A and B are shown apart, each in its own frame.
Chain A
Amino acid sequence: MATVGPAATYSLRQQYVTTAKRGPITRLLEDERRLAFCLMLPTVVLLALFIAYPFVNGILLAVTDTRVGVPGKFVGMDNFAKIWSDDIFHVAVWNTCLYTFVTTVFKLVLGLWLALLLNRHFRGKAFMRAFILLPFIIPTVLSTFAWKWMFDPTFSVLNWMLFHAGIIHTRINWLGDPVMAMVSVIIVNVWRGVPFYAISLLAGLQTISPELHEAAAIDGARAWNRFRHVTWPLLLPVTLVIVLFSVIQTFADFQLVYVLTGGGPANATQLFATYAYQLGIGTGLLSQGAAISLAIFPILLLVVVVQLIYIRRTETL
């Protein structure tokens, strides 16, 4: 924080001490509650208008049979019953859970590894840290196109590399094969997410005092034991928060799959969000689309509540 010299303090004082007469508005804002009300007003209005209202509207949509341009009538839980017995919806639920679980595990392990590597002193560290974040800051859609081009069945540079390394003998049909399509989508998500995990975990690592490590080393603890019994327990609270954020984002992911496979082939990579988009916007079945995206909510809520309870518990330990 900048220290303010006496001269600067004086000029500052002239700015804000107008003394004598205070306008009616200033007097009004002297009251803590009124000031707080005025300060909170813009935020509350915007969030109410574009979060709370759409949420309620979404529930209202989901219990009618609205289509684009056709005002619907009340149909109760019909839409939910319909998606409950919809096979594609089941596939989407399973895919979303698989996608979230696998990517989170990989992102956590690789991110932690990278963070531990970067937590050393070496030349060019700041430079490297800046470059490593690039996959996270470059617009996802744009970098996903680069991947789509790398996965292209005829022109794939990945196939070329794997072939010349002697790992494969025929081409891999990355996005055309149902299993490989899921693998591809997972690879891109992990690629994009690892930097975020690494940088956040690195920040967590830097708050751990090196003296603890030295003490453990003096007591004869080896590198693995030092990690297991010193670093990991201290890092756990930060890790849980990072995982919470990442799980929510991954669970509701849309753009990556939309660009890479569009949910195909034959719904092999269909997620909640892509399916909701396909039904709600693509086919114009607004209320069914709304019902699907609302179905994310209870699952998301469950995940968040479980994680928050767990975070609370590790914090009070």
Chain B
Amino acid sequence: MIEGAPWRRWVFFYVPVTAFVVSLLFPFYWMVITTIRPDSELYRPWSAPNYAPFWTTHPTVEHVHDLLSETLFTTWMLNTMIISLAATAISLFCGLLAGYALSRLKFPFAGSIGTAIFVTYLVPQTLLFIPLADIIRNFRLGDSPWALILTYPTFLIPFCTWLLMGYFKSIPKELEECARIDGAPRWKAMVYIVFPVAIPGILSAGIFAFTLSWNEFIYALVFLSSPEQKTVPVGVTSELIRGDVFFWGELMAGALLGSIPVAFVYSFFVEYYVSGITGSVKG
């Protein structure tokens, strides 16, 4: 804690912390309040005398109701869920195997393959989306969930591999050697001895991968075209705006509901998520 007089504690700790928390969370509060505010109050200019920004006197669920009944929002949620889960599963599978091989086995080019995977980790999606769109079209994958299920792992696998490699390195080799002395074949020692110990690492990688896929935008925007195939971020962007008209109530309701699954997963696994972030940074 801060040494010295109470005013120092206020100036150097409480005031800045409060300022940070308020400014980081205010947009979410604003999402909630806009969602439940009736249109008559929503479209009142800020300079109007009766503009009451921080609360509403007539909360309504009208916007949520419109969103769920008149748009394809539930379909987008389902699409996003399926795509995120499938992409995460594929990435975890590949990342586990590759991470194990790179951290435990000796084979030719191990070092250069490891470096290559690290380099792909640094390639942003925006570098490749145009040629990739071309390829997706040639593979006849356009406008189907497979376009995303197969391409999302490209930015998830490097991350999962890197995180799990670090995790495997922290597991003592003796554990496996014991099993091998008992006569277990290599792959069984891997599956039954090493993988169970690595479960916290797998969870971190999985949660991180899930939130990244839920968040992904540019591939989904470019590869999908029909409204019923879209994911939440793309659907909200393209279908809730007609020309220049923004349906702010529905938009905010969509933003709020679309964030809930991620926030839900996150709230249960905060610790794993944080270790995922720090693990990804430490490499």
Q: Do A and B come from one complex?
A: yes
- Cα of A130 to Cα of B265 in the assembled complex, Å: 12
Bitwise interface map of A from 107 to 148 toward B, beta carbon under 8 Å scored 1, else 0: 000100110011011100010111111110111111101110
Q: Does A182 contact B (CB under 8 A)?
A: no
Is A216 on the interface with B (CB-CB < 8 A)? Answer: no
Question: Contact partner of A55 among B20, B24, B128, CB < 8 A?
Answer: B128
With beta carbons under 8 angstroms apart, the residue of B27, B122, B270 that contacts A191 is: B27
Alpha-carbon distance A8/B95, docked complex (angstroms) = 28
**Docked pose: A35 CA to B233 CA in angstroms:** 40
Q: Are B254 and A142 in contact (CB under 8 A)?
A: yes
Does A7 reach chain B (CB closer than 8 Å)? no
* Complex Cα–Cα for A299 and B124 (A): 13
Q: Which residue of B lies closest to A31 (CB)?
A: B186
User: Contacts A30-B186, A121-B1: A141 and B34 contacting too (C-beta < 8 A)?
Assistant: no
Interface residues of B in 147-163 (CB under 8 A from A): 150-151, 153-154, 157-158, 161
Contact B122 A304 (CB under 8 A): yes
The one of B30, B122, B274 in contact with A157, judged by C-beta atoms closer than 8 angstroms, is B30
Query: What's the Cα separation between A173 and B102 when bound, in Å?
Result: 53
The smallest C-beta distance from A16 to any residue of chain B, in angstroms, reads: 4
Q: Is A39 a contact of B100 with CB atoms below 8 Å?
A: yes
17-71 of chain A: CB within 8 A of chain B: 17, 19, 22, 26, 29-30, 32-33, 35-40, 42-44, 46-47, 50-51, 53-55, 57-58, 60-61
Interface size class of A (residues with CB under 8 A): 35 or more
Residues of B within 8 A of A2 (CB): 197
In the complex, whether A263 has a CB less than 8 A from a CB of chain B is: no
Q: Which residues of B lie under 8 Å from residue A251 when comparing CB positions?
A: 124
| Bound-state Cα–Cα, A154 to B47, Å | 8
Contacts of B16 in A (CB 8 A): 113, 117
The complex places the Cα of A58 from the Cα of B126 at a distance, in Å, of 12
Given contacts A50-B132, A139-B215, whether A252 and B125 have CB atoms under 8 Å apart is yes
Cα-based distance from A277 to B151 in the complex (angstroms): 18
Nearest B residue (CB) for A56: B131
Bound Cα distance from A272 to B124, whole angstroms:
12
Quick one: CB contact mask for B104-128 with A, threshold 8 Å, 1 for yes? Answer: 0111101001001100101111111
Q: Are B135 and A245 in contact (CB under 8 A)?
A: no
Chain A residues near B67 (CB-CB < 8 A): none
In the complex, B237 has a CB within 8 A of chain A:
yes
Give CA–CA (A154, B282) in the complex, Å: 45
A293 at the interface (CB under 8 A from B): yes
A42–B97 touching, CB < 8 Å: yes
> Does B101 touch A at the CB level, under 8 Å?
yes
Q: Judging by beta carbons under 8 Å apart, are A51 and B154 in contact?
A: yes
Which single member of B151, B182, B192 contacts A50 (CB below 8 Å)?
A: B151
Our pick among A44, A134, A245 for the contact of B28 (Cβ within 8 Å) is: A134
Assembled-state Cα–Cα distance A277/B130 (Å):
8
Residues A47 and B218 in contact, CB atoms below 8 Å apart:
no
Are A272 and B126 in contact (CB-based, < 8 A)?
yes
Band of interface residues on B: 35 or more
Binds B, one of A86-94, A97-105, A193-201: A193-201
- For the residues of A in contact with B, the DSSP-based class is helix
Contact assessment for A58 and B131 in the assembled complex, using a CB-CB cutoff below 8 Å: yes
Q: Once the chains bind, are B135 and A296 in contact (CB under 8 Å)?
A: no
Assess the A36–B107 pair: CB atoms within 8 A.
yes
- Cβ contacts under 8 Å, A242 to chain B: 281
CB-CB < 8 A to A121: which residues of B?
Answer: 1
Residues of chain A contacted by B259 (CB below 8 angstroms): 138-139, 142-143
User: Measured between C-beta atoms, what is the minimum distance from A288 to chain B in Å?
Assistant: 9
A43 touches B117 (CB 8 A): yes
Q: Give which listed residue, A39, A55, A149, A252, contacts B252 with CB less than 8 A.
A: A149
Most chain B CB neighbours (cut-off 10 Å) among A43, A146, A159: A43
Q: Output the nearest chain B residue to A50 by Cβ-Cβ distance.
A: B154
Contact of B127 among A42, A149, A294 (CB under 8 A): A294
Given contacts A47-B120, A248-B122, A297-B127, contact A140 B154 (CB under 8 A): no
Residues of B within 8 A of A (CB): 1-2, 13, 16-17, 20-21, 23-25, 27-28, 30-31, 34, 42-47, 51, 53, 90, 93-95, 97-98, 100-102, 105-108, 110, 113, 116-117, 120, 122-135, 150-151, 153-154, 157-158, 161, 171, 179, 182-189, 192-193, 197, 211, 214-215, 217-218, 221-222, 232-234, 236-237, 246, 248, 251-252, 254-255, 258-259, 262-263, 266-267, 270, 273-274, 277-278, 280-283
Name 14 interchain pairs, CB-CB below 8 A, sorted by A. A12-B193, A17-B182, A35-B187, A42-B93, A46-B153, A47-B157, A61-B134, A117-B20, A139-B259, A142-B254, A142-B259, A160-B51, A251-B124, A300-B122
Given A46-B153, A132-B24, 19 more pairs with CB closer than 8 A? A16-B185, A29-B185, A35-B186, A50-B151, A51-B120, A61-B131, A110-B20, A135-B27, A138-B262, A142-B255, A142-B258, A143-B259, A145-B252, A146-B252, A155-B42, A155-B45, A157-B46, A200-B277, A286-B130
Minimum-distance CB pairs A-B, first 9:
A252-B124, A58-B131, A203-B278, A273-B126, A36-B107, A142-B255, A39-B101, A141-B233, A39-B97
